[in-house]
Structure 1
Amino acid sequence: MTICLSFRMYMLLVLALVASVSSARVDPFSDEFLELLQSKETTWKVTQNFAKDVKKEILATIHCVKKFPWIPNLPTKKVDTCSGLVIPESFDAREQWPYCPSINEIRGQGNCGSCWAVSAASVMTDRTCIATEGRAQFRYSSENVLTCSGDCGFGCNGGDEDCALRYWIYEGFVSGGPPGSKEGCQPYSVKECPHHIEGPRPSCEGQMPTLKCKKSCRKGYELSYKDDLEYGQAAYRLPVDVQAIQEEIMANGPVTASFALHSDFFSYKSGVYQHIEGEYHGYHAVRIIGWGEENGTPYWLAANSWNTDWGDDGYFKIIRGRNECEIEEDMAGAIYKPKPLLDDGSSCSR
């Protein structure tokens, strides 16, 4: 009996492995793969976000997190296990700090592997506003983070969002609005493109742009590059602990996070994502703004950088508490450093 049971288990494992390998080889943008996902019972809904004939080069702009061996990890923040803080069942930073409109923004990375820079710039923006109770509405430039973060990355070819938070402390970053705007010192120059089938934006396909660090502001901006810089005073990783992460978000605002990207994530529409099928493609960086529970499934609420037409108006939920796709292993935060007060008692910050 034991031998038969063992053989049966062995065959089930073999069949599961074959099925897994087969699904991994299916084109992630094909009808076949979409039908495979739709046949599964899970906590999220699928849709065809990308055209079936999209060129696979687009994947290079999506798995845009690179961890370099020569860059040391941020220090892990020490947690007060006796804080006594009551964690609510749900939390949304957009509702907690309504005077910070940046928390509601979905930035688009365009045809550029800049998710690491976009997530870092977004978190810096949110936390600067929160720390100053809305007085400093300073929108950090995604492009400045992307191009001027030293050894943190290779521009559109990927980088390390944790490293960018550390760079904020020592070198600072300037302001910058969305593509096509004349907002801030260095607006993002990469045009928006659709990470979905239909929409008014031009295609994401084509060669990624090569961008260089510029220590100057756009023509007509009222401040010099040096005068526009804002800085952080501390950056840290968060422990792999759900309550510690929740307490951090409640105290200081959204955090950066990176997670292992699989083919099924491309087809996310709504619900609480958890990986069910498809191959691994690398890592992707996003911004975590809260948490909650949907139909009994706990989740993190995340803002993506693939425009508002993707997913749930640009957001997605991912299952919380089991380190899904390693997302709870790589969350980080940073603290804004206020500028010194002027002689009249006012602050230099905008």
Structure 2
Amino acid sequence: MKFAIAALLATSAAALSEDATSFLLKERYDAHLAQHGIERTAEEKADRLALFEKTIEKVTEANAALAAAGKDEIHGITKFADYTEDEFKFFLGVDAHVRAPKLPVVELSEEDKLSATSGSFNWNDQGKLTAVKDQQQCGSCWAFSATETIETAWAIAGNSLTELSPQELVSCDKTDNGCNGGLPSNAFEYVKTRGGLASDSDYPYTSGKGVTGTCKSDLPAVAGGSISDWGYAQTACQGFRACTEDTDAIASALQKYGPMSIAIDASQWSSYTGGVMDSSSCDSSPRKMDHAVQLVGYDADADTPYWIVRNSWNTNWGEDGFIKLKMGENTCGIANLAALIKSV
């Protein structure tokens, strides 16, 4: 009898513990939704709670493994925590099967060539970057990356720093595919032909819910960003050919010409919250490129030398909208298609 009572009490305690855990998980999920301004119906919340719990387990295991390996890369609960892998792909937007244009490697004089074994540089510290943007659920990263690189090149050339329109590229650049993806280096050709881009205020972003939209028949006037020549920081890599990062060439070109539009593998970026990601956390193969971002600087003096990369998922992701990628390893394919503006 005593045994039966003890067993009953143990079962009851376990049930209460399970209920408490479930309650705490739901509370945490509700707080997550409120923090990120995400609205879910009661039915959606019931379905997505399991995804949220799975993400918690995944990042906990990942952080333990990273810490055990002596790495400072950190993952956590981000705004993507209750998305499926397929849903997350809507926040990407590079098609690795699209052939990039053949462009020359930019020229560097002996005076321009740097050794990237020491020192640091960041175009954000130079006041040449506009604010971090949010592409939302549209595969328009290529348009944001291209626009950002053009904005900075325009400012470096002595013009005022102007927020230009990624929406114009999304809707009007027919070489690329709007919310279905594209490549920054293709977008540069549209901008050259157009003579620049409209301002973001004159042609604001409206594709955040995945609709490319039609190009305005009466385009707003160009606000800046005329470009005339561009190229790669090192020989481009596509297809199945492996690419070795030329760290010195990229660092030198970055300082001489400005930030670069790069195509990378961001499939593992959804839970990134800080630290330096290395090549063991993502794929460097050209066939795995699925996202376009902007390379803006580096720090070779850090304990783990890293590149500084600006994303287009708003400032509530990563390190205020940026990610650090380890130098020297072609981490996430950073060197595969590193395109920059040579002249405006």
Q: Same fold (TM over 0.5)?
A: yes
Residue number in structure 1 paired with 2:141: 115
Structure 1, gaps ≥5 residues long: 1-26, 178-182, 192-206, 218-223, 338-350
3-state SS of paired residue (1:106): coil
| Residue number among 323, 338, 343 corresponding to 1:316 in the alignment | 323
Match of 2:121 in 1: 91
Q: Check 1:121–1:262 CA distance in 2 against 1; reply closer, same or farther (3 A cut).
A: same
Residue 163 (str. 1) matches residue 189 (str. 2): no
Does structure 1 residue 189 correspond to structure 2 residue 206?
yes
Aligned pair partner of 1:105 in 117, 131, 152: 131
1:176/1:188 contact within 8 Å kept = no
Match status 1:261 vs 2:266: yes
CA distance in 2, matches of 1:300, 1:278: 15
Q: Which amino acid aligns with 1:63?
A: L
Question: Larger C-alpha radius of gyration, 1 or 2?
Answer: 2
Query: How far 1:281 sits from its partner (Å)?
Result: 6.8
Counterpart residue type for residue 236 of structure 1: G
Aligned-partner Cα distance in 1 for 2:113–2:182: 37
The CA deviation at 1:299 is 0.4
Question: How far did 1:142 drift?
Answer: 0.6
**Paired amino acid for 2:278:** Q
| TM norm structure 1 | 0.70
1:335 to partner: Cα distance:
3.4
Among candidates 287, 308, 312, match of residue 301 of structure 1: 308
Distance change (3 Å), C-alpha of 1:167 and 1:329: same
Q: What is the one-letter code of the residue matched to 2:333? A: E
SS in structure 2 at match of 1:290 = strand
Candidates 87, 91, 107, aligned match of 1:62: 91
Query: RMSD of the alignment, in Å?
Result: 2.7
Residue 334 of structure 2 aligns to a residue in which SS?
Answer: helix
CA distance 1:173–1:214, change in 2 (3 Å):
farther
Matches of 1:69 and 1:84, distance apart in 2: 32
Larger helix proportion, structure 1 or 2?
2
The equivalent residue for 1:74 is 103
* 8 Å Cα contact 1:63-1:281 kept in structure 2: no
Instruction: Call closer, same or farther: CA 1:83–1:93 in 2, change over 3 Å.
Output: closer
Q: 1:320 to 1:313 in 2, by over 3 A?
A: same
Distance 2:258 2:282 in 1: 33
User: Which residue of the other structure, out of 197, 204, 214, is the alignment partner of 1:174?
Assistant: 197
Q: 1:277 to 1:261 in 2, by over 3 A?
A: same
The corresponding residue for 1:252 is: 257
Q: CA deviation at 1:250?
A: 1.2
Name the SS of the counterpart of 1:120 in structure 2.
helix
CA contact (8 A) 1:46 1:267 kept: yes
Query: CA shift at 1:81, angstroms?
Result: 4.7
Q: Give the Å deviation of 1:251.
A: 1.6
Cα distance in 2 for partners of 1:301, 1:104 equals: 15
Structure 1 residues 81 and 150, CA gap change in structure 2 (3 angstroms): farther
Identity of aligned residues (%): 24
**Cα distance, 1:215 vs structure 2:** 4.0
CA distance in 1, matches of 2:343, 2:217: 21
Give 1:125 shift.
Answer: 0.4
1:1-350 equivalence runs, <5 A? 30-40=55-65, 41=69, 42-50=71-79, 52-67=81-96, 69=98, 72-81=101-110, 83=112, 85=114, 89-95=119-125, 97-98=126-127, 100=128, 103-132=129-158, 135-151=159-175, 153-177=176-200, 183=201, 185-191=202-208, 208-217=210-219, 224-225=220-221, 228=223, 230-239=225-234, 240-263=245-268, 265-276=269-280, 282-293=289-300, 295-337=302-344
SS in 2 for 1:35: helix
Describe the shift of the 1:294–1:61 C-alpha distance in structure 2 as closer, same or farther (beyond 3 A).
farther
In structure 2, runs of 5+ residues without a counterpart are: 1-50, 235-244
Residues 78/305 of structure 1: CA separation in 2 closer, same or farther (3 Å cut): same
